[in-house]
Amino acid sequence: MPTARLISTAALLSTATLLSCSLAACAPTERDAGRGADGTAAASDRPDENRLRQQTLDWRDCPAPSPVQGGGEAPAPLPDGTRWQCATMRAPLDWEKPGGKTIGIALIRARSSGDADDRLGSLLFNFGGPGGSGVAALPAFATDYEELRTRYDLVSFDPRGVGDSRGVRCLDPEAAEEAEEKVDQAPDDGGDESDALVELNELIAAACEKNSGDVLPYVGTTEAARDLDLMRQILGDEKLHYFGISYGTQLGGVYAHLFPERVGRAVLDGVVDPTQDMMEGALGQAAGFQLAFEHFARWCVEQRCTLGEDVEAIVETAVDLEAELDDTPLATSDGGELDGDEVISAITGSLYSQSFWPALLVGLEAVTGGDGDVLAELAEVLGQHGSGGDGDDGTEDDGDDDGTDDDPVDRSNENDAFRAITCDDSSDRYTVADVERRMPEFLEASPLFGPGLAWSALSCAGWPVPGEARHPEVSAPGAAPILLVGNTGDPATPYEGAARMAEALGEDVGFELTYRGEGHGAFDSGNPCVRDAVHTYLLDGRLPKRGAVCEPAPLPEGK
C-alpha cells in the first residue's frame, strides 16, 4: 500500500518526458455489509444506482488541465488526428447512500484507432500516486499505449479527491510551503523536531477537515473501485479492462476483490504489496530505495565517478552529505538553499528512472565540490508538487456542474489527495514512540532513506476520518487472470510485492512476469520484452509462461 509520498508516479512520468503503493483478516467491513459476493447489492435493490448507470456522458474536446490537475496546455490531437475528449461522470458521494449527494468524476478518452469489429472496449488507466490526475497524465504518455489503442478506447480519470473530481484541499500552497520549511522531515534531535513534525501533520489534517471535510470520508480506494465499476457500465463494457501502475495496482486489486466476475483483461505494473500495513510498507520502501541506490552506486563506480571507490563508500558519501546539509544548508546561485531533505528528494526522485541517473551523478559530484545547483534543480523538478484544489459542491447534479473547479488555486492537489486517500484507506495511527521503537529496523534497512520513511508513518496524525483497515483486501477467487509485472530493481514498490499480490489474489488469478530492470515499474522503461508481454495479453488474451523473465537493456552511458 502507499506509504511515504516520495514522489507520485504520474508526476515522475510527466517529468521524464520533459527531461529525455487493510482490510484485515478478510472480515467483511461495515461498508460491505449486506452485499453479495461481488461487493454490490442486487440491482433491483438499488434504483438510485440504476439511474446513475443510465446516465449519458457529454463528451467534448478537452480543455487545458486545470491548476489542480497540474496545469499546462490542452492536449494536442494524436498523430492520426484523434482528438482527446473529456466528460464528467456522476457518482454517489457516499456509495452506501446512492440516492444522496453525488460527486463529479472527471474522465478523458481517446477513441480506438482500429476497425470497429476488432474493438474490445475501453481500457481504463490509473497511473498511481495516489493523487495523480489521470486526465492530465494519459495524453502525456499516449504514445506508449498507441498499439493498445488499435483495439481499445484509452480512458483515464481523476479519482475522487483528485484534481477535478472534488480535489481535496488542505493548506493553501503558500502556508504549506512556509510550514514545511520549518520542519525536519527526518527528526534527529530527540524531541523538539519530532514534536514539530507531529504538529505539522495535525495542522494539515485540521486544514483538510476545514476545507474538504464533507468529502474526506469518501475518497478511499474502495469508493474509487466502485466508481471504476460504474465507469465500466456507462462505457458499455461487460468486463473491466484495466491497466494499473503503482498505487493503481492496489486499486485494481481492490476492484478484483469487490467484483471478481467483472474483471476482464488487466495488467498491474509496479505492484503494491497488499499484505503490508503502513509501517511495513515504509520499511519495505526503505530497503527498496537502498537497493536501487546501491545499483546506481555500482554504475557510478563503472563510470569512474569521484563519489567513492566502491558502493559502500558512495553510500557513505550520500549519508554524510545529507547529514551535513541538514545541519548547514548550502547556498545556491538563485539565492536559495539546498538542505538535507532536498538531497534525499533529489536522490529518491532520480531512482524512479535510469534516465535520471546521469543527472544525479553530475549533481552529487557537484555538491561535494560546493555547488548545489544541480541537486536543487533535481529536487524541485522531481520532488513533491504543492497542494491545492477545490471542487464542485458535492450536491446532486443540477445541470450546471461540469466537474471542474470554480475557485482553483495555482498548484495541483497531489500532496493533499495522497494524504487523504492514504489516511482513508489505512487504520494505522502511529505515534512518535512507535517510530522511535521501529527506527533501528529502518536504519538497518537503509541509513540513507530509513529515517525519513520511518517518520513518514506520522502522516495520518490527527486525521479526522478513521481509516478503513490495516491493509487492502484483494482476494479475488474466480476472477479472470491478471498479469502482474514485477521489477527486481523497483525502489518504490519492491519486487516482492508482485509475488505477494499474486498469492493474495488467489490461485490462477495472479500471473507474474519478472523484469530484471531498474526504476519504478517496467512498461514505461520501454523494454521490448515487457511491452510485448503486456500487448499480447491485453490485445490477444495470451499470458506469458509462468516464471517468464525479461532482461533489461544496457545501462545508460556515463558523463
Question: Would the pLDDT of 123 be above 60?
Answer: yes
Non-local (6+) Cβ contacts of 237 within 8 A are 121, 122, 264
How do residues 56-79 score in pLDDT, each as one tens digit? 999 999 999 999 999 999 999 999
Q: Share the mean pLDDT of the chain.
A: 87
How far, in Å, CA of 525 to CA of 127, rounded? Answer: 14
Q: Where are the beta strands (DSSP E) in 272-410?
A: 330-331, 337-338
Share of residues in the chain with pLDDT > 90 (%): 78
Averaged over 471-478, what is the pLDDT? 96
Question: Would the pLDDT of 227 be above 70?
Answer: yes
Question: Would the pLDDT of 187 be above 90?
Answer: no
User: Is residue 243 classed as helix, strand or coil in its secondary structure?
Assistant: strand
Distance (Å) of CA 51 to CA 101, 230, 237: 13, 11, 17
244 burial class (0-12, 13-18, 19+ CB within 10 angstroms)? buried
pLDDT at res. 288: 98
User: Is residue 143 classed as helix, strand or coil in its secondary structure?
Assistant: helix
How do residues 342-396 score in pLDDT, each as one tens digit? 999 999 999 999 999 999 999 999 999 999 999 999 999 987 433 223 333 333 3
Q: Which of 8-12, 165-169, 282-286, 313-317 has the lowest mean pLDDT?
A: 8-12
| Set of cell numbers at residue 545 | 509462461
Q: What is the pTM of this model?
A: 0.88
User: What 3 state SS string does 147-207 have?
Assistant: CHHHCEEEEEECCCCCCCCCCCCCCCHHHHHHHHHCCCCCCCCCCHHHHHHHHHHHHHHHH
Identity of the amino acid at 266? A
**Structural element, H or E, at residue 110:** strand 102-110
Sign of dihedral through CA atoms 53, 240, 115, 134?
A: positive
- pLDDT grade, residue 481 (50/70/90)? very high
| Residue 4 vs residue 204, higher pLDDT | 204
Question: Would the pLDDT of 21 be above 50?
Answer: no
pLDDT at res. 271: 98
Averaged over 517-541, what is the pLDDT? 96
Identity of the amino acid at 275? T
pLDDT at res. 557: 53
Question: Would the pLDDT of 306 be above 80?
Answer: yes
